[in-house]
Structure 1
Amino acid sequence: MEIHESLQQLDSLLRSSQLKEAEAFLKTQTEQAAASGDWETEAVLRNEQMGFYRDCGNFPESLHAAQRARFLYESHHQTNSVSYATTLLNCANAYRASGSYDAAFAAFAAVQSLYQNHLPPDDIRIAGYWNNLALLYQEVQQWENACDCLRNALDLARSKQDCVKIAISCTNLAVSLLHLSQIEEAEALLLEADTILAGRTPSDFHYSAVLAGLGDVCYQKAEFEQAAAYYEAALAEIDLHMGHNNFYEIVSENLRHAYEKCHTFRPHLTGLELSRRFFQTFGLPILEHAFPEVLPELAIGLAGEGSECLGYDDAFSADHDYGPGFCIWVPAHLPEETQQALQKAYDALPHEFYGIRRTAMPTAVQRIGVCTIPSFFSRLLELPHLPETEQEWLSVPESGLAAACSGAVFRDDSGNFTQQRSLLQKGYPEPVRLRRLAQQLARMAQCGQYNYPRMRRRGDYGTAQLYLMQFCTHAMQAAHLIRRQYAPYEKWLLRSTRNLPGFSDFSAQISKLLTMTPACTTCFTESEDPVCRKIQQICNIIEQEVANMMHTSPQENAYLEQTANMLAETAESLEQHEKNVQAIVKLEWDAFDKVQNIGGRADCQDNWDTFSIMRSSQYTVWPDALLTEWLQFFETAWKDGRNLIAEKYARMMEHTDPARYAALQSQLPPLSEEFVQMREAIVQIQVSWMEAFAAEYPNLAANARIIHTEQDTLTNTSYETYLRGELSTYPPEILYAYGRWVVSLFQNQQNLAKMILEKTTKAYGYPDLEAAEHTRQL
C-alpha cells in the first residue's frame, strides 16, 4: 500500500472538511493494511485515527487506536525508535483528552526518554513534545508547569523560525497565562499567533484556538461584545475542521456567558449583515494574505437574487440557498487560473457562522463565490452589456435590474463594479420609464377596468380571477415606476410596494382586493360589485400619482388607457428632445475641434466625455422650441462656413485679451445696441443665479468657473464672460426667445444655474447636488 498517497487523500478530505468521508476512508485503509499484514502502514494509520477521533470527541475510538498502535510496535519489538516516540506522544494526547491523566504522564515520560536518546536537543519535534505536555498540565490546572513547558517550546520554535510552531506555542502559552491573570502578555502572544495564522488558505485548524484565546482575553477585559465576536469566529473554525466536538461545546458555553454579560442573546443577523461579518472575519484576511496583488481589482459584497439581497429575509429564508457567504466580482481580464485559485480559497472558508449553516441549492449558480463582473450583469440583465439603447432598456427584465441593484458592496478599490451598478441605480432613462409606465397603465385598464367585469358578465369566473391578479401585478409595477424604482421578482412585489414612499396604503388596498369576495354571480353589475369599485379606486390612486408626477390635473374615474397614451406621447417628445440635444452637442464638438487656440491645441479639445456632459447638461433643460430653433440655426451656420464656437471664444477675448480681440473684432458680426442691452439683462440675471448657487453649494462652486468678469485672467475665464460670449453668438430672434424663457424662470423663482449643475452632477453619478457637495467632486 502506498502510505503517502493515502495520507495525501486523507489530508485532502480533511482540508475540504469532509469529516464523514475522511473517517470512512481512514477506516477502510486501516483495515486493508491490517488484513495484508503491513504493520508499519497500519501503525501510521492508527496514529491518524488517534488524532482524528480525539479532535472529533470520540474518545473510545481514539483510545482503541492508541492501544492497537502500541501493540503493533511492542509485538514487533520496535519500541526503541523515534517513530514509537511519536506514537507514544499521540497516545499521551489521547489519554489526556479522555481524562486518563496518569497514563498520559507516563507516556510523556517515555517520549522524553526516547527523544533524549535519539534526537538532538534543538530538533523541532521536541517543541511539539513540550506543547503537548503543556496541554496535559493545563488539563490538571498546573498552569506554572504548563508555562515552563511552553516557553521551552516557543524558544525552540523561534530558533528554527518555524512560523506555525511559533503560533501554536504562542497560543498555548497565552491560554496558561490567562489562568494566571497575565492578560497583557497573553494578548500580545495571541496577536502574534493571529498575524501568522490569519488569512491562510485553507486555514490551519490551530487558528480556532487563537480566536478562542482572543475571546478569552476580551472577556477578562470586560469587552464582552468583542469577546462574543471572537468566539463566533472560533466556532466557525472548529466546525470546519473538527465538527461539533468537545472544544466546540466549551467555546459555545463561553459564548453564552459573553452574551449574558452583554444582556442579550445571540443576535439574529440579516443576511446582508451576516455576509458582511463573514467577509470581514474570514474573507478579507485571506484576500489580503494570499491575493494582495489582485485585491485592488476585486469587488466584494452580496447582490443579485435572494431575499437577503433585498433585505426581506426572515425565519423562513433559511430553508434554501441561505447562510454565510459573499460574492467576489472579478474583472474579465483576470486569468482563469487566478479565478480558480480565488474560488478554491473561497470554498475552503467555514460553512457555519453565527450558528447558521449555508444550505445551497443546485439551481442557485453563481449567487455567491467568484464571478466575473460582465457575467454577473449579463446573467441578470440577459444582455452582453449594460443596456444602452431604448430597445435594450425595454427588453431587460425589470426583476433583473432590481436584483443587479440589490444588496451591498463591501469593498471595491477600483470602483469598476460600483460604477456600473451606479449607472443602473440611476433608474430608467426618462423616456423609457414613461413608456414602461404607459405599458403598465394600459395593461391595468385592459385587465381590471375592461376584461375583469366582461369575464364576470360572461360567467367566466376563473378567467376573471386571472385578470384580477394581472391587474394587481401591473398596478404594483406602475407604483414602482412612479417612484423611479425597479420592481422585484413577483414573490416580493407586494412587500416592495408597501415600502415605496407614500404607497403603504396602496399596497394594503391591493392586498384587500386580492382577498375580496365578488358580488353575487347571478345579478352582476359593475356599480354594485365591490371588486370593481376597488379596482377603480386603485386606478384613481394611480391616476392621481401620475398627475402629480406630470404636473397635470387628474381625470375623475379615468380610464387609464387615456393616461397611458398621454405618457407615451410625452416619452416620444422627450426622445426627440434628447436627439436634438445630442445633435447640437455633436455639432459643437466638431466646431470646437476646429478652434485654433493661441498656445496650441488645448487638452479639453480631446476630452469628449467632459465636453458632452457639460454641454448636454445645459441643453437638456432648454424648452423644445428654443432647442429646435437653435439647432437649425447652428446647422445652417456650420454649412455656411461659420464656426460659432470659435466666435464665442473670440467674443470672450474682449475681456480676457483685449489686444487680441481688437485684431479679431472686424471679423465678427456686429451687435446692435438693442441686442447688447438684452444680452446684458440676461447676463445680470444668470450671474445672480450663479452667485446664489455658490452661496448654497460652496464646494461645488469652488470647482467651477470663477463668477465675475473682473476676475478674468488670460488662463481663467469667468462664468460671466463665458456666458456673454456664448449669448453673443445667438441670432436676435433666438436671444429674445432665450431671454423670455430666462425671465419666466426668474419670475417663477427657478434658478437655471442650479438646474444645469444638477444635471451635471447626476451625469457624474451623484444622486443629487447635496451628495456632490458633500464629496466635493464635480
Structure 2
Amino acid sequence: MTPAFVPGRELARLLYAYVAPVLAARGLAHTAALVGPGSDVLGHDDATSTDHDWGPRLQVLLSPDDHAAHAAALHEELRHVLPEQVGGWTTRAAPPADDGTRGPGVGCPGSPVEHRVEILTLDTLLTRVLGHVRPPLTVADWLVIPQQRLLSLTAGVVLHDDLGLARVRADLASYPHDVWLYQQASAWWAVAEDSHLAPRAGMAGDDLGSRLVTARVCRTAVLLAFLQARTYAPYDKWLGTAFRRLPSSRDLLGPLDAALAAADWEARQRALGQVLVALLRGHNALGLTAPVPEETVPFHARPFEVVDAEGVADALLAAVVDPAVRSLGRRRPVGGIDLVTQSAALATDVTRTAALRGLYR
C-alpha cells in the first residue's frame, strides 16, 4: 500500500532528526538543508512527485577540512544507522537510471540503507546551483542566472546552519534595487513590442498567430507580476502554480484565462488589455516612478488597444542610479535570461553562464 503523502520538506526535517546525533557524536560543525533542484524544495511536490528524485533527503555541508576527513566514513555510518523509513516513506534510493534520476529503492530488512543524504561543502553546493560565481554578484551575474536557480537556493528549508548558508541565501533573496528596475523595464519593453502584434495577426486572418503572440504576452505579464512582488519565478512547469500564490493573481487570473481562451482577436485583446491595466495598477502601487495612466490607448491609427508600456519602461530606466545598470539602458533592454529564452538547457547548465554575460556588455 502506498503511504500517505508527506511533503518533502517535512521528510527532510524527520530525516535530519536521525542524522543530527551522528554529526554531534563526531563533533562536526555543519549545515543541514533541503535546497537545489526539486519540486519538494519549492513546496510544489505531490503524490506524482514520488516516483523519482524524491523522498527523505537533505544536504549536509561540512567545512573543506572536515569533508576531506569525514565525508566517506560519515556516508557509510549513515547507511547503517538510518531507519529504513521516515514518515512512512523509504529512505532507500534506487541506483541511478540512464537519465540520472533515482527512484525509490528496495532492500532486505536490516541491510544498509542507500540513503539520500548528500555530504558536500558549501562551495560544492554553490557551484552546483550558481556555477563559479559567488556573492556579491555583478549585474551581469544577476541577469544570466535563471530565476529558477536563484529560487532553488533561496527556497527549501535550512535545518541547522554553522557554515553560513543562511547568509548566502539572504544575499541572493531578491534582486538589487536597480537590477530589479531594469528587469521590470525589460518586461514592459517586451510587452510594448508584442502586444499590438496579436490583434494585427488576428485582423489578417491568422488566428493561430494571434493566439501564439497572446500566449507570449501573457507569459511576460506573469513574469512581470513576479517581479512586482519581488519574488523569483520558477521554471514553466511550476509557473502557473506559483503565480496563483501571488496576491496580484486575484486580479490577473480572470483576464489571463479569458485572453488565452478567447475565440476571436477582438475578445482576446480586450482581455489582454485588462491584464496590462492591472499590471499598471501594480506598478503604480510600488511608487517607483511618477504615476502612469491606468488605461489602454490606441496603437497609432489602428483599432488595437494597448498600454503605454514603453513609457513605463523608460520611466523605470530613468530611475536607475547604478552606473553598471544604467549602461545597459543605452540600448533597448533585453532583460534577464528568463525573458530572453525559455530554454531548459540554459536554466540547468551552469557551464554556459560565462558565455551569456556577453548579452550585457
Match 1:492 to one of 235, 238, 257: 238
- Which position in structure 1 is the counterpart of 2:290? 552
Is 1:536 equivalent to 2:285 in the alignment? Answer: no
Letter in 2 for 1:440: A
Displacement of 1:304 in angstroms is 1.7
CA distance in 2 between partners of 1:417 and 1:279 (Å)? 17
- Which position in structure 2 is the counterpart of 1:482? 228
The range that moved more, 480-489 or 330-339, is 330-339
CA distance in 2 between partners of 1:422 and 1:474 (Å)? 27
Letter in 1 for 2:37: E
Superposed CA deviations along residues 602-626 of structure 1, whole A, max 9, x for unmatched, are xxxxxxxxxxxxxxxxxxxxxxxxx
Superposed CA deviations along residues 520-547 of structure 1, whole A, max 9, x for unmatched, are xxxxxx5xx2111111111111111112
CA distance in 2 between partners of 1:492 and 1:406 (Å)? 14
CA distance in 2 between partners of 1:309 and 1:303 (Å)? 6
CA 1:315–1:268 in structure 2 vs 1: closer, same or farther (change >3 Å)?
closer
| Aligned pairs for 1:323-334 within 5 A | 323-334=55-66
Is 1:357 equivalent to 2:105 in the alignment? Answer: no
Is 1:503 equivalent to 2:249 in the alignment? Answer: yes
Is 1:287 equivalent to 2:34 in the alignment? Answer: no
Is 1:428 equivalent to 2:161 in the alignment? Answer: no
Is 1:276 equivalent to 2:13 in the alignment? Answer: yes
| Aligned pairs for 1:8-47 within 5 A | none
- Which position in structure 2 is the counterpart of 1:441? 188
Letter in 1 for 2:51: D
CA distance in 1 between partners of 2:88 and 2:46 (Å)? 15
Displacement of 1:399 in angstroms is 1.0
Letter in 2 for 1:442: W
Q: How many residues align?
A: 296
| Aligned pairs for 1:617-636 within 5 A | none
CA 1:517–1:511 in structure 2 vs 1: closer, same or farther (change >3 Å)?
closer
Contact 2:259 / 2:269 at 8 angstroms: preserved in 1? no
CA distance in 2 between partners of 1:388 and 1:546 (Å)? 26
- Which position in structure 2 is the counterpart of 1:589? none
CA distance in 1 between partners of 2:228 and 2:85 (Å)? 42
- Which position in structure 2 is the counterpart of 1:637? none
- Which position in structure 2 is the counterpart of 1:401? 150
Q: Where in structure 1 do 4 or more consecutive aligned residues deviate above 6 Å?
A: none
Displacement of 1:389 in angstroms is 1.5
Is 1:417 equivalent to 2:165 in the alignment? Answer: yes
Match 2:263 to one of 518, 522, 529: 518
Match 1:465 to one of 185, 208, 211: 211
Contact 1:346 / 1:369 at 8 angstroms: preserved in 2? no
Superposed CA deviations along residues 320-374 of structure 1, whole A, max 9, x for unmatched, are 2111111112334544352223333445534532222366665359x85122212
| Aligned pairs for 1:233-252 within 5 A | none
Contact 1:324 / 1:357 at 8 angstroms: preserved in 2? yes
Is 1:342 equivalent to 2:78 in the alignment? Answer: no
SS of residue paired to 1:499: coil
Displacement of 1:393 in angstroms is 1.1
- Which position in structure 2 is the counterpart of 1:641? none
CA 1:357–1:469 in structure 2 vs 1: closer, same or farther (change >3 Å)?
farther
Letter in 1 for 2:290: T
Letter in 1 for 2:268: V
- Structure 2, gaps ≥5 residues long: 103-115, 297-306, 327-361
| Aligned pairs for 1:711-726 within 5 A | none
CA distance in 2 between partners of 1:539 and 1:325 (Å)? 42
CA 1:553–1:306 in structure 2 vs 1: closer, same or farther (change >3 Å)?
same
Q: Could you state the TM-score of these two structures normalised by the residue count of structure 2?
A: 0.73
CA 1:342–1:496 in structure 2 vs 1: closer, same or farther (change >3 Å)?
same
- Which position in structure 2 is the counterpart of 1:113? none
SS of residue paired to 1:378: helix
CA 1:440–1:333 in structure 2 vs 1: closer, same or farther (change >3 Å)?
farther
Superposed CA deviations along residues 408-435 of structure 1, whole A, max 9, x for unmatched, are 1001134x1111111112x111000010
Question: Normalized per residue, which structure has more helix?
Answer: 1
Question: Normalized per residue, which structure has more strand?
Answer: 2
Give % identity.
26
Contact 1:498 / 1:505 at 8 angstroms: preserved in 2? no
Letter in 1 for 2:292: P
CA distance in 1 between partners of 2:70 and 2:255 (Å)? 53
CA distance in 2 between partners of 1:530 and 1:351 (Å)? 57
Displacement of 1:319 in angstroms is 2.2
| Aligned pairs for 1:38-437 within 5 A | 268-280=5-17, 282-289=18-25, 291-292=26-27, 294=28, 296=29, 298-348=30-80, 349-357=82-90, 362=97, 363-364=100-101, 369-414=118-163, 416-425=164-173, 427-437=174-184
CA distance in 1 between partners of 2:53 and 2:189 (Å)? 37
Letter in 2 for 1:430: H
CA 1:471–1:578 in structure 2 vs 1: closer, same or farther (change >3 Å)?
closer
CA distance in 1 between partners of 2:141 and 2:216 (Å)? 24
CA distance in 2 between partners of 1:511 and 1:456 (Å)? 18
CA 1:457–1:387 in structure 2 vs 1: closer, same or farther (change >3 Å)?
farther
Is 1:570 equivalent to 2:307 in the alignment? Answer: no
CA 1:332–1:536 in structure 2 vs 1: closer, same or farther (change >3 Å)?
farther
Q: Could you state the TM-score of these two structures normalised by the residue count of structure 1?
A: 0.36
CA distance in 2 between partners of 1:334 and 1:386 (Å)? 23
CA distance in 2 between partners of 1:346 and 1:479 (Å)? 44
Contact 2:12 / 2:57 at 8 angstroms: preserved in 1? yes
SS of residue paired to 2:44: coil
